[in-house]
Amino acid sequence: MKIYNTLTRSVEEFIPNEEGKVKMYTCGPTVYHYAHIGNLRSYICEDVLEKTLRFAGYDVKRVMNITDVGHLTSDGDTGEDKMLKGAQREHKTVMEIAKFYTDAFFEDCSKLNIKTPDVVQPATGCIAEFIHMIEVLLDKGYAYLAGENVYFDTSKLKNYYVFGNQNEEELYVGVREDVEEDTNKRNKNDFVLWFTKSKFEDQALKWDSPWGMGYPGWHIECSCISIKHLGEYMDIHCGGVDNIFPHHTNEIAQSESFLGHKWCNYWFHVHHLNDRSGKMSKSKGNILTVSVLEEQGYDPLLYRFYCLQSHYRKPLEFSFEALDATKPAFDKLRNKCSQVKKEAEAGQDKAADKDIYDTFRAKFSDALANDINTASAVTVLYDVLKSDMDAVTKLALIESFDEVLGLNLTKASSGTGTDEVDQELAKYVSEQIELRRIAKKEKDFAKADAIREELKSKGIIIEDTREGVKWHLA
């Protein structure tokens, strides 16, 4: 399997430390707001990566943190505390906000068929480990106390900018242009490991530490949590491209200084989802969520399909027009797969043709092994549907591909039959469902309800479900 490694800036053969096993870490969400569909693009692509590894036979252990403390509005330790800001906005406690948005995140993930990692670790559950790591860094001379905060000293490293091609000046400005500089820092890219004194006098969550009551910096949590659950050597670490600097750069600085050896071999970064105004971001407000998609009548899996059609290393532009343009192909694909299922079930006694099955499975696997080329993998699926192999073999392939694609391929609207009457009916109902979707999108709910009632009067019941709109005869 070949994968692009941000650390070496090249597509490399993926070789885990231990044969057959993969230790994988994902930077989790900061739970002060709903995840937007940009964040979820990263999680969809990382989910496909994990499932590709499993499809290839690896035993994967995946860990994800939940950032419920320490993340400031600037990734460079300045600005407001995101969790506190969320709590104030909603007149709730920080922990209430954290719980609410953590649950909302996993609900969205489930709608997008994103598997929950094997270990999910909130940062507030690991304070003792953070303190221990900071003590070791101080002992080893990689950290210093200044203004009652503890900082990591980036000048102690031979190569702090491990991801290369980074212009220090540019990166620093990129982090934040409008904040006052922290005069405690010895070097401008030094970062906070532990805050005791900051401008947040009203910081909600504080813990006792050898340096006084305070709270951890953001970067330390991912170093600690990954080492706690995956050990000293990790195979692959994921996140969005905005995490490369400073977050992942700082994670490497801390972890390798703490451990005294190389820590993680492969770094997988997903490029951003943009809207017309640029990178989609929670701090811009007005964010596009899975719920917004659903309110407008879109099946969340249509968005997953939209993401899979582009490569994770390219920026992806989102618009409703683009989603609308993808919808007919997605509906057709799922209807075809459902038809195959019906045909296969009719000829249940037959076994799948092993040679054909292995050939197409290998083609699908090769597409993904080529730096997770999901668009090519989808093309292999179309090739299966077009081919004249028997339905039982087709269905076996579809179901196996869907383990990675996660599109609920054989769960299209019920009633999609193979005979003529069924097809006529299915066509009529899907047209009505589409008209209802458009009405909902235009907020013409009276029209949407009228369409539902009209169908009901004809004995056709439609239901909004997690997998999209389904229908059946009364």
Single out the segment in contact with Zn ion by CB under 5 A; choices: 21-29, 47-55, 111-119, 163-171: 21-29
- CB 32, CB 83: distance < 8 Å: yes
337 scored as a contact of Zn ion (CB under 5 A)? no
Residue 204, both tokens: 């909600």
Nearer to ligand AMP, 77 or 331 (CB): 77
Residue 222: contacted member of ligand AMP, Zn ion, none (CB under 5 to 8 Å, by partner type): Zn ion
CA-CA distance, 211 to 316, in Å (whole number)? Answer: 44
Minimum CB–partner distance for residue 240 and ligand AMP (Å): 2
Nearer to Zn ion, 109 or 222 (CB): 222
Minimum CB–partner distance for residue 257 and ligand AMP (Å): 23
- End-to-end alpha-carbon separation of the chain, Å? 49
Minimum CB–partner distance for residue 239 and Zn ion (Å): 6
- Looking at residue 313, its amino acid is R
CA-CA distance, 242 to 38, in Å (whole number)? Answer: 12
Residue 113: contacted member of ligand AMP, Zn ion, none (CB under 5 to 8 Å, by partner type): none
Binding site for ligand AMP (CB under 6 A): 27, 29-30, 38-39, 41-42, 67, 239-240, 242-243, 270, 272-273, 279-282
Q: Do the bridges between strand 273-275 and strand 215-216 make them parallel or antiparallel, or are there none, so unpaired?
A: unpaired
222 scored as a contact of Zn ion (CB under 5 A)? yes
Nearer to Zn ion, 71 or 436 (CB): 71
Nearer to ligand AMP, 37 or 469 (CB): 37
Nearer to ligand AMP, 281 or 408 (CB): 281
Residue 375 has phi, psi (to 5 degrees) of -65, -40
- Looking at residue 225, its amino acid is I
Residue 39: contacted member of Zn ion, ligand AMP, none (CB under 5 to 8 Å, by partner type): ligand AMP
Nearer to ligand AMP, 64 or 397 (CB): 64
Which of 55, 6, 379 has the alpha carbon at shortest distance from 166? 6
Dihedral-angle region of residue 77 (phi above 0 means left; psi in -120 to 50 means alpha; beta otherwise): left
Which of 412, 418, 415, 419 has the alpha carbon at shortest distance from 398? 412
Minimum CB–partner distance for residue 113 and ligand AMP (Å): 18
27 scored as a contact of Zn ion (CB under 5 A)? yes
225 scored as a contact of Zn ion (CB under 5 A)? no
Each as own residue / partner, the long-range contacts of residues 377-380 (CB below 8 Å, 24 or more positions apart, any chain) are: 377/308, 377/401, 377/404, 377/405, 378/308, 378/309, 378/405
Minimum CB–partner distance for residue 42 and ligand AMP (Å): 4
**Which residues in this chain contact Zn ion in the complex, by CB under 5 A?**
27, 222
